[in-house]
Amino acid sequence: MGLVATSLALLCLCSLGLCVPAGRPEPTQIEQLRPLKGPLCKIQQTKELHSHMMSHLEVKKARGDVPDTHPVSEPEPTNPTSDFENSYNYVLSRLAGIDQAIHKLNVGHYTLDVQVGQMMEHLSRMDAKVFELEDKIREVYQHSKDNRKETGRLEGCQKGLRVGYKCYLVYNTFEDYAGASRKCLDRGGRMAMPRDRREQEALAHYTKSFFHPGNWPVWLGINDLTSEGQYIFDDGTRVSYFQWRKHFLSSQPDGGKRENCVAMSSDDGDWWDHYCDRTMNYLCEFDDRVAL
């Protein structure tokens, strides 16, 4: 049995390539790394290969061919409690930022509100000044209007014809009936309204001498605009004295509903009815008893 065991061991060594015949040199490192044969020695072959590689790496490392490697640290396992705290702290920081932004908005809103209040106060003061200025303008306008009326009255009595407490003045400018009435009112008077023969004859003589040698009709303050045939003065009172032109060819009034305003001829003082939109000279009268 000892011989048989010895033979088997020799065969195994020979199959692994470890049997060196007599007279043969020992195998080199490369030959030692050749793959081993034999199904009975696979484990032994693997162990020897691993041992050989490790020794080879140790040699290189000693020479400095292989750099030192540091082990990679494994990540620490996450803790559910720490994740919750991180999320909670993040939310708190965000809420703090939002609170600061809201505070800035409130400060800006308060500042804007103060400025708007100041502006409204300035506007109120300005409105008060504007109202005061408007009152002064109206007062000045009224004074100007009164002065213009007083000036017109004085002019009428100084340049025109005085009859009793009335003054008459001819204006040699062309206006329609409404325009002539407005001009007389602006001057502090009204359209001439002869109420009796004395006033009529005085007006006829005055206008004839004013336009001599021509014949220019002038508006009087008489019309039947309200009711056809019912003649009234410009102040609303009814006319009781008339000086219509009487002639077999052109008896007045003859205009009917078309001619509703009365004018006086300057050559003889007779009255004619005319279209109210016709433009002609006009007569104004002023009350010399009191300033209008």
Are 242 and 250 in contact, with CB atoms under 8 Å apart? no
What CATH number is associated with residue 187? 3.10.100.10
Per-residue pLDDT at 68 = 52
Per-residue pLDDT at 34 = 47
pLDDT level of residue 249 (50, 70, 90 thresholds): confident
Instruction: Assess if residue 272 is contained within a domain.
Output: yes
Q: Which of 243, 144, 235, 140 is nearest to 196 (CA)?
A: 243
Instruction: Assess if residue 249 is contained within a domain.
Output: yes
pLDDT level of residue 43 (50, 70, 90 thresholds): low
Write out the residue range of the structural domain in which residue 237 sits.
Answer: 154-287
pLDDT level of residue 77 (50, 70, 90 thresholds): low
Percent of the chain with pLDDT over 70: 71
Burial of residue 197 (number of CB atoms within 10 Å: 0-12, 13-18, 19+): exposed
- Mean pLDDT, the chain, whole residue set: 80
Which one has a higher pLDDT value, 89 or 56? 89
* E strands present in 83-217: 161-163, 166-175, 190-191
Domain count for the chain: 1
- In angstroms, the CA 224 to CA 229 distance is 6
Percent of the chain with pLDDT over 90: 44
- 204-215 burial, b if ≥16 CB within 10 A, otherwise e? bebbbebbeeee
Which contacts of 155-162 are long-range, i.e. CB under 8 A and separated by 24 or more positions? 155/187, 156/187, 156/189, 156/284, 156/285, 156/286, 157/286, 157/288, 160/206, 160/286, 161/202, 161/203, 161/206, 162/288
Work out whether strand 261-264 and strand 161-163 pair parallel, antiparallel, or are unpaired. Answer: unpaired
Residue 45 has pLDDT above 70, yes or no: no
In the numeric block, which tokens belong to residue 177?
Answer: 């009936």
Are 174 and 281 in contact, with CB atoms under 8 Å apart? yes
Instruction: Assess if residue 62 is contained within a domain.
Output: no
> CA torsion sign, 79 to 84 to 87 to 90?
negative
Are 262 and 143 in contact, with CB atoms under 8 Å apart? no
Mean per-residue pLDDT, 8-13: 51
Which one has a higher pLDDT value, 212 or 2? 212
Per-residue pLDDT at 214 = 86
- In angstroms, the CA 16 to CA 8 distance is 12
Instruction: Assess if residue 165 is contained within a domain.
Output: yes
Mean per-residue pLDDT, 67-79: 57
Tell me the per-residue pLDDT of 266-284, one tens digit each, with 9 for 90 and over.
999 999 999 999 999 999 9
* Phi, psi of 287, rounded to the nearest 5 degrees: -90, 120
Residue 67 has pLDDT above 90, yes or no: no
Per-residue pLDDT at 35 = 47
Which one has a higher pLDDT value, 252 or 44? 252
* Phi, psi of 58, rounded to the nearest 5 degrees: -60, -40
Work out whether strand 280-287 and strand 218-223 pair parallel, antiparallel, or are unpaired. Answer: parallel
Instruction: Assess if residue 134 is contained within a domain.
Output: no
Instruction: Assess if residue 161 is contained within a domain.
Output: yes
pLDDT level of residue 142 (50, 70, 90 thresholds): confident
Residues 226, 228, 232, 233, Cα dihedral to 10°: 80
Mean per-residue pLDDT, 104-111: 91
Instruction: Assess if residue 94 is contained within a domain.
Output: no
Mean per-residue pLDDT, 35-46: 51
Per-residue pLDDT at 163 = 92
Per-residue pLDDT at 61 = 55
Q: Is the pTM above the cut of 0.75?
A: no
Residue 70 has pLDDT above 70, yes or no: no
Instruction: Assess if residue 169 is contained within a domain.
Output: yes
Residue 185 has pLDDT above 50, yes or no: yes
Per-residue pLDDT at 291 = 44
> Residues near 239 by Cβ (< 8 Å), separated by ≥ 6?
222, 231, 232, 233
Per-residue pLDDT at 27 = 47
> Residues near 203 by Cβ (< 8 Å), separated by ≥ 6?
161, 168, 192, 194, 264, 269, 283
Q: Which of 155, 203, 207, 225 is nearest to 183 (CA)?
A: 155
> Residues near 127 by Cβ (< 8 Å), separated by ≥ 6?
none
